[in-house]
Copies of this chain bind each other. A is one copy, B any other.
Amino acid sequence: MLTKSTQYAIRALVYIQLQSYNQKRPGLAEIAKEIEAPEAYTAKIMQILTKHKLLSSVKGRGGGFFFSEKEPETSLYSVIVVMEGDSCFTSCAFGLSSCSSSKPCPLHDKYGPIKEAFLKLAQEETIQTLAQKIKHGDAVINLL
């Protein structure tokens, strides 16, 4: 399971991408309201994302958050790694640090493919592909 912070981060990024289709640059208050997260906590998350160059921001009147032209597509994988590290992709189901094909834990064979599938999903899907699904009405990202 992704952490709450990671979930907020992805939803915020998707919302910013959606607004960018309309030449908009949403601010913190608007984003927090949209993703139904506490404003101050959302601020922390946005700071992590901008610090890691997944997002750009401008201060002052009319400021807000946006994707610069220079930034490439943002994979879910990179968002997850920035927010909570890569252990959900790499670690053994039992937390065995030595778990490997030569010294497999009893779930190694069956859990491995599941981790693989999740990694593939995270690498292939991007903020932009998720936003497109919403734009086309194929998905929603609000709580209600």
Question: Which residues on A are within 8 Å of B, measured CB to CB?
Answer: 1-2, 4, 7, 10-11, 14, 87-88, 91, 93-98, 103-108, 110-111, 113-114, 117-118, 121, 125, 129-131, 133-134, 138-144
Residue from B7, B87, B103, B143 within 8 A of A98 (CB atoms): B143
Is A121 touching B114 in the complex (CB atoms < 8 A)? yes
Q: Is the CB of B87 within 8 A of A1?
A: yes
- Contact (Cβ within 8 A) B1 A141: no
CA distance A114 to B1 in the complex (A): 12
Q: Is the CB of B121 within 8 A of A110?
A: yes
Kindly state the separation between the CA atoms of A30 and B35 in the bound complex, as whole angstroms: 49
In the complex the two chains form, what is the Cα distance from A94 to B140 in whole Å?
Answer: 11
